[in-house]
């Protein structure tokens, strides 16, 4: 496999934008899928027009996502080899399940579950054609510990890991490797969040860090290091797993 082309969903997010910068440094072509904003990666794309393409698309809309990706692939001649799926709707409900608005619950499930199905279905068509593909899905430690006041997010993250296990078994025959990376709290820039969500995270993480043996949140490098290996040619046998990056917290 000579040329690597990564599709990154949630590419304007904290993790997605970090991955974009680092994978570009390693020489990959990048197809970056963003939702509302591209402020974190706009400069990277404009300075590297031959290596980076941005697609602005809600991943819940399968046809538009498929069409836009096909268009980029036919104009660049790139063939996707890797998928890093970080896009997520966060736990904006901040309420117990009993008090959560059904429409909001559905929206989070739509983005995190239907969105995951869509991005996988679109990428798999290319991976199967080439009998090669490496996928990392982003789950969360909440898939094993739950998330009080974030039931839709917790449910969707657990489901993503199980989609990963299923896909690994279905697509092993096509040389497609799929793993889920499930971090605990990551140290991120939270300036874009609403005041209430920032407060919720502050309190939540203050309490959580007390329980983390290594007494800190994960850094982007902590996350990237493992993913880099899972996505590399060195990994030809580890598939269908869920990896927890939690500083020793079970
Ligand atoms: N950060 C943490 O502490 C933490 C902990 C555990 C697990 N994780 C997981 O790690 C991954 C990355 O986290 P992060 O902190 O980088 O998240 P983030 O900064 O919130 O980025 C998520 C990105 O997904 C995009 N997105 C949301 N809905 C979308 C949709 N319908 N279609 C397309 N894109 C959509 C968002 O775009 P818009 O903002 O434009 O909507 C955003 O740029 C996530 O899967 C998260 O669940 C994070």
Closest ligand 1 atom to 111 CA = 31
- Pocket probe mutation, ligand 1, options 86, 91, 106, max atoms within 8 Å of Cβ: 86
Q: Is the CB of 222 under 6 A from ligand 1?
A: no
The predicted pLDDT at position 53 comes to 98
Q: pLDDT exceeding 70 applies to what percent of the chain?
A: 99
pLDDT at 44: 98
pLDDT given for residue 8 in this prediction: 99
- Give residue-wise pLDDT tens across range 93-126: 679 999 999 999 999 999 999 999 999 999 999 9
The H or E element containing residue 153 is helix 151-171
Residue minimizing CA distance to atom 8 of ligand 1: 140
CA torsion angle 182 187 193 195 (round to 10): 120
What pTM was computed for the model? Answer: 0.96
Q: How confident is the model at residue 1 (pLDDT cuts 50, 70, 90)?
A: low
Q: Is 88 in the pocket of ligand 1 (CB under 6 A)?
A: yes
Q: How far apart are the first and last CA of the chain?
A: 37
How many other CB atoms sit within 10 Å of the CB of residue 46? 10
Q: Is 10 in the pocket of ligand 1 (CB under 6 A)?
A: yes
Write down the pLDDT at residue 93: 67
Q: Is 60 in the pocket of ligand 1 (CB under 6 A)?
A: yes
pLDDT given at position 207: 87
Ligand 1 atom closest to Cα of 205?
Answer: 3
How many Å apart are CA 59 and CA 32, to the nearest integer?
A: 12
How far is ligand 1, taken at its centre, from the CA of residue 149, in Å? 18
Distance CA 134, CA 127 (A): 8
SS3 per residue for 216-234: CCECHHHHHHHHHHHCCCC
Q: For position 104, what pLDDT does the model report? A: 94
Q: How far is the CA of 12 from the centre of ligand 1 (A)?
A: 8
As its CATH architecture, domain 5-245 has 3-Layer(aba) Sandwich (3.40)
pLDDT in the model for residue 225? 97
Q: What is the pLDDT of residue 192?
A: 78
Instruction: Give me the phi and psi of 9, to 5 degrees please.
Output: -90, 155
Task: Give the mean pLDDT of the chain.
Answer: 95
What strand order describes the sheet that includes 5-9? 52-56, 29-34, 5-9, 82-85, 133-138, 176-183, 242-245
pLDDT band at 199 (very low <50, low <70, confident <90, very high): confident
Asked if residue 18 has pLDDT above 90, the reply is yes
């Amino acid at each position: 496999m000579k040329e690597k082309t990564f599709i990154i969903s949630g590419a304007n997010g904290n993790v997605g934008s970090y991955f974009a910068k680092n994978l570009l440094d390693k020489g990959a072509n990048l197809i970056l899928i963003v939702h509302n904003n591209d402020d974190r990666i706009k400069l990277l794309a404009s300075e590297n027009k031959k290596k980076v393409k941005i697609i602005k698309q809600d991943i819940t809309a399968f046809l538009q996502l498929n069409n836009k990706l096909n268009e980029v692939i036919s104009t660049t001649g790139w063939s996707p080899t890797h998928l890093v799926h970080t896009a997520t709707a966060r736990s904006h409900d901040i309420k117990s399940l009993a008090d959560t608005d059904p429409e909001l619950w559905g929206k989070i499930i739509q983005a995190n579950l239907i969105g995951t199905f869509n991005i996988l279905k679109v990428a798999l068509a290319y991976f199967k054609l080439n009998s090669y593909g490496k996928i990392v899905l982003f789950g969360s430690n909440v898939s094993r510990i739950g998330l009080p006041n974030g039931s839709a997010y917790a449910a969707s993250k657990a489901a993503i890991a199980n989609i990963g296990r299923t896909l690994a078994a279905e697509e092993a025959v096509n040389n497609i490797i799929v793993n889920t990376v499930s971090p605990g709290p990551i140290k991120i820039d939270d300036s874009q969040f609403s005041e209430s969500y920032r407060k919720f995270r502050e309190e939540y993480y203050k309490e959580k860090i007390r329980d983390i043996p290594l007494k800190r949140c994960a850094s982007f490098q902590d996350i990237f290091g493992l993913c880099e290996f899972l996505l590399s040619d060195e990994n030809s046998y580890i598939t269908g797993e869920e990896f927890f990056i939690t500083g020793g917290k079970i």
